[in-house]
């Protein structure tokens, strides 16, 4: 397997992030590094012809991420991650009838929110098997989460296949702000348990494919305490089932193009849950080196989902099952993302940038009941990163 060139390994493995493949192809300890990443996320304002009242300006988020990967020895690797995020803007609240269709009610005051997160993991490699255990903690003004994870990887005897498996658990506490003023729940809990299994297969010297399935079960308070629903001239709090089981199948294909020294990337993801949401994601990218130091990567991503039975922008009758939501994130809609990445690499460090534009519309969904959802979001995202090898 060491006959793979450095360029092939870099394009197929390191830069594309396939789990397990760094050990599969290189058989070396993970790259030691320090990485800083800044991301600015900016949602476009709600069009005024879709606004009932409130502030049309939507969320802006600035996040700062730090990551350290350090090999303690040939067998053990320590990884530390830190995140600081600041969010401001106005949030969709509920939808009410308008003269020519549903209109979105936005929160009137600007929301200010901060989130801090820390992750720590320890990995051990021995005889072609890697075990990795991690813990993390995330806190916001109104939300706390404590979580733990485990992943394992094992190479086949011929070194052409890697089995990966894992599980995670999260315990969350919710304490919404201004609960008594707006009739929100004052304190609630939720938890999440998930497991996954994947197979990564080297097809030949230039191609890799991976298939992954995962199952997640969430339980507890799964409603959004900041969303409300208009039901026959009455505004009630968002109400969703207290359990949700989600299944995901993902396949990833990587093909190295020898003549152009580029890599073709194709990913497909299928999602289904017991809320009757079905979603499809298809992404294609082209990673092209320019000389020995530069690389660019244009990509396009398509997403489509169907809505659960308890979703509608508004209701003229009380639903019989006591579940209802007008959260636009549950609507039937499709979305297209356009991305362009560029990276400049030196021997010990690299700089990268990525710009993304996301546009959503209910008319481009593959399936599902169409709704006139005024709150669908479009956004821009810019990411800058610096990586230093140790």
Block mean pLDDT (10 aa), the chain, length 390 = 39 43 47 95 96 93 97 94 96 94 87 94 91 97 96 87 95 91 91 96 88 97 96 95 97 88 94 97 95 94 97 93 95 97 94 98 91 95 96
Asked whether residue 1 is assigned to any structural domain, the reply reads no
Q: Is 142 left (phi over 0), alpha (psi -120 to 50) or beta?
A: alpha
* Type and span of the H or E element at 269: strand 262-273
- At 120 the pLDDT is 98
Tokens at 56, concatenated:
């049309």
Instruction: Enter the tokens of residue 19.
Output: 């789990």
Give CA separation, 121 vs 20, 115, 133, in Å: 16, 20, 5
Q: Which domain holds residue 321?
A: 6-389
pLDDT computed for residue 58 by the predictor: 94
CATH of the domain at 120: 2.40.160.40
Q: What is the pLDDT of residue 18?
A: 40
Phi-psi region of 232 (alpha: psi -120 to 50; beta: other; left: phi over 0): left
Query: What pLDDT sits at residue 2?
Result: 39
pLDDT score at 19: 39
Structural domain total, the chain: 1
* Residue closest to 308 by CA, chosen among 285, 283, 277, 339: 277
Model pTM? Answer: 0.90
Which are the contacts of 157, defined by CB distance < 8 A and separation ≥ 6? none
Round to whole Å and give the CA distance between 13 and 25. Answer: 8
């Amino acid at each position: 397997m060491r006959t793979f060139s450095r360029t092939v390994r870099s394009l197929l493995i390191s830069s594309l992030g396939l789990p397990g493949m760094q050990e599969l192809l290189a058989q070396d300890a993970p790259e030691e590094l320090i990485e800083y990443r800044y991301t600015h996320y900016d949602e476009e304002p709600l069009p005024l012809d879709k606004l009932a009242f409130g502030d049309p300006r939507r969320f802006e988020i600035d996040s700062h991420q730090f990551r350290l990967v350090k090999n303690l020895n040939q067998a053990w690797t320590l990884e530390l991650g830190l995140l600081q995020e600041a969010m401001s803007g106005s949030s969709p609240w509920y939808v009410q009838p308008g003269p020519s269709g549903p209109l979105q009610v936005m929160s009137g005051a600007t929301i200010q929110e901060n989130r801090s997160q820390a992750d720590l993991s320890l990995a051990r490699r021995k005889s072609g098997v890697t075990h990795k255990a991690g813990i993390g903690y995330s806190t916001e003004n109104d939300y706390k989460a404590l979580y733990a994870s485990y992943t394992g990887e094992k190479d086949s005897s011929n070194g052409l296949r890697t089995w990966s498996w894992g599980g995670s658990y999260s315990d969350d506490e919710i304490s919404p702000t201004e609960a008594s003023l707006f009739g929100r729940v004052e304190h609630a809990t939720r938890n999440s348990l998930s497991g996954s299994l994947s197979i990564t297969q080297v097809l030949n010297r230039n191609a890799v494919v991976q298939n992954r399935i995962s199952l997640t079960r969430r339980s507890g308070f799964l409603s959004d305490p900041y969303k409300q629903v208009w039901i026959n001239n009455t505004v009630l709090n968002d109400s969703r089932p207290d359990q949700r089981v989600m299944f995901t199948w993902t396949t990833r294909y990587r093909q190295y193009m020898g003549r152009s020294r580029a890599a073709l990337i194709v990913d497909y993801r299928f999602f289904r849950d017991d809320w009757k949401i079905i979603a499809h994601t298809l992404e294609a990218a082209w990673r092209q080196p320019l000389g020995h130091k530069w690389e660019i990567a244009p990509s396009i991503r398509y997403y489509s989902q169907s809505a659960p039975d308890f979703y509608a922008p508004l209701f003229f009758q009380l639903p019989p099952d006591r579940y209802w939501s007008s959260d636009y994130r549950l609507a039937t809609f499709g979305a297209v993302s356009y991305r362009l990445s560029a990276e400049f690499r030196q021997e010990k460090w690299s700089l990268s940038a990525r710009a993304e534009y996301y546009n959503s519309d209910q008319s481009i969904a593959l399936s599902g009941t169409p709704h006139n959802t005024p709150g669908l979001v479009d956004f821009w995202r810019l990411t800058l990163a610096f990586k230093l090898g140790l």
